[in-house]
Amino acid sequence: MKNNPLLEQSLDFATKIIKLQNILLKENIKQELRKFKGFWHNIMNHFHKRICYDKDNNYKIVSDNLYKNGIFDNNDNEIANNIDRRVTIPDENKSMNIEKKNNFELK
């Protein structure tokens, strides 16, 4: 292979293209994940409002069925049914806890 510089250049170019495709794929997946997190946040917020504030029993029934069928996990079910729980994304919770800890340490 060292005798053929054209082949080496072609392989280097192909490797660069593959790396670029992987980077673009990762970014696309990250973007889709952000969209899904926003979508899920809106759903959970809607259920939370309808069950906790409007006392809509139909949403309670749907929420219970989603929990029984594994669509909602324990956290989602608690958010939907507990008026004291705020609808947040776990990443937000982590950053909020760090901020609170840092603010507490500064005082």
Q: Please tell me the predicted confidence (pLDDT) of residue 26.
A: 93
Q: What is the pLDDT of residues 4-63, one digit of tens each?
A: 888 888 889 999 999 999 999 999 999 999 999 889 889 988 988 888 888 888 888 998
User: Tokens in use for 34?
Assistant: 């952000």
Q: Please tell me the predicted confidence (pLDDT) of residue 103.
A: 67
User: Stretch 63-92: mean pLDDT, rounded?
Assistant: 83
d(CA 60, CA 72): 12
Q: Please tell me the predicted confidence (pLDDT) of residue 2.
A: 59
- Listed by start position, the domains of the chain span 5-106
Residue tagged 């946040």 (tokens): 41
Q: Please tell me the predicted confidence (pLDDT) of residue 55.
A: 86
User: Tokens in use for 7?
Assistant: 């082949």
User: Stretch 61-68: mean pLDDT, rounded?
Assistant: 90
Q: Please tell me the predicted confidence (pLDDT) of residue 91.
A: 64
